A and B are shown apart, each in its own frame.
Chain A
Amino acid sequence: MEKKTDEYYIREVLRGDSGSFSRLVEKYTNLAFSLSMKLLNQREDAEEAAQDAFIKAYNSLGSFKNGSTFKTWFFRIVYNTAISRLRARRGREVSITDLKITEWDIQSTENTIDKLNGDERQRYLRIGLERLDPEEKALLEMYYYDDFSMEEISSITSLTVSNVKVKIHRTRRRLLEELRYILKDELLTIL
């Protein structure tokens, strides 16, 4: 079947063919759920947030400007919906504390993780990621997993590009710091 652009389906929906929205739902379901999941870390909550985001996008499709891509526009909705849920849930902001990890620590932690087998590495990384602030974790994963550019992340999160860069840099260091402590604890347990 011939693949149509997002803009084509948007035009069809705006003309009254709501069924065309299902094409956009199919295309962006995994990404929307994945982003919600990164922020909320609870399956049911993430599904609800992703569904809410689709409905918000459907209702405000008329305000979508062709100047930006639908993907970025829609992800901004997903991000804001999930962030609202997250803030309502935790009711407080997580502040960034001073980081104590040195460059040498980073290098040694990286070498240790690299020597682990795939399953172990995944297990430790998952624990490390869960210890991060969800907003920062989402930024990190958008950059490293979803391959969004700094500019795209800036557009989705409404943060400045320089702020995104700083946050990703800090989060990466924080993750490695967490991994260092997790690995140290594990080593102590073994010994």
Chain B
Amino acid sequence: MNQRDHLKYWIKELPQEQPSPDFSIKVMERVMTEWSHNPTKYQPIINRKGWFLIALITLISTALLLFLHNSASIGLELVGKTKNSYVIDATKFFTPINHLFTSLTKISPTVAIGIFAILALWFLDQLFSKTVRR
């Protein structure tokens, strides 16, 4: 065994001091404090441009539906009057909503559904972001 090996053996023989048992906990406490000063910022799944695009598509779809609806001259009331008796009367469901919107804002239920869809997407986006953060 040469001198280098001797020294290596002697140094390795020395007992090494260990850190205190709560060392890792103290480090992680400080890491969490650091994190709280600068928490991770998550990007929304649907960005601003995406929302504009969704709104645009919804508006175009609604306008298109309204246009087709008027050009075909098929009102919901008429559909309800011409269907067979054994089919569920859709007018019972749509008519009150239709009346509500017609009387209040003169907008069609399709627009309401579009608005509802946008709100639902926004809500899901928020919910998902929060879940990821946890």
**A48-56, A63-71, A77-85, A149-157: which one contacts chain B?**
A48-56
Q: Point out the residues of chain A lying under 8 angstroms from B14, CB to CB.
A: 122, 125-126, 145
Any chain A CB within 8 A of the CB of B27?
Answer: yes
Interface residues of B in 12-32 (CB under 8 A from A): 12-20, 23-24, 26-28, 30-32
Instruction: Select one of A37, A47, A114, A140 contacting B6, CB under 8 A.
Output: A114
B65-100 vs A, CB cutoff 8 Å, 1 = contact: the mask equals 000000000000000000000000000000000000
Interface residues of A in 121-135 (CB under 8 A from B): 121-122, 125-126
Q: Point out the residues of chain A lying under 8 angstroms from B17, CB to CB.
A: 33-34, 37, 43
Identify the closest chain B residue to A34 (Cβ): B16
CB pair B10 A51 closer than 8 Å: no
Any chain A CB within 8 A of the CB of B121?
Answer: no
Number of A-B residue pairs at CB separation under 8 A: 86
Any chain B CB within 8 A of the CB of A118?
Answer: yes
Instruction: Select one of A29, A47, A172 contacting B7, CB under 8 A.
Output: A172
C-alpha spacing A126/B11, complex, angstroms: 9
A9-37 vs B, CB cutoff 8 Å, 1 = contact: the mask equals 00000011010011001100110011001
Identify the closest chain B residue to A173 (Cβ): B3
Any chain B CB within 8 A of the CB of A6?
Answer: no
Shortest C-beta distance, B29 to chain A (Å), equals 10
CB pair A54 B15 closer than 8 Å: no
Indicate whether A18 sits within 8 Å of B23 (C-beta atoms), given known contacts A33-B18, A122-B13. Answer: no
Any chain B CB within 8 A of the CB of A144?
Answer: yes
Of residues B16, B27, B35, B42, which shows the largest number of chain A Cβ atoms within 10 Å of its Cβ?
A: B27
CB pair A144 B12 closer than 8 Å: yes
Please report the total number of B residues contacting A with Cβ < 8 Å: 29
Interface residues of A in 69-112 (CB under 8 A from B): 106-107, 110
Instruction: Select one of B12, B15, B34 contacting A58, CB under 8 A.
Output: B34
CB pair B11 A58 closer than 8 Å: no
Any chain B CB within 8 A of the CB of A183?
Answer: no
Any chain A CB within 8 A of the CB of B131?
Answer: no
C-alpha spacing A51/B25, complex, angstroms: 10
Any chain A CB within 8 A of the CB of B105?
Answer: no
Any chain B CB within 8 A of the CB of A45?
Answer: no
Any chain A CB within 8 A of the CB of B47?
Answer: no
Interfacial residues, chain A to chain B (CB-CB below 8 A): 15-16, 18, 21-22, 25-26, 29-30, 33-34, 37, 43, 46-47, 50-51, 54-55, 58-59, 106-107, 110, 113-114, 118, 121-122, 125-126, 140-141, 144-145, 172, 175
Interfacial residues, chain B to chain A (CB-CB below 8 A): 3-4, 6-8, 10-20, 23-24, 26-28, 30-32, 34-35, 40, 42, 133
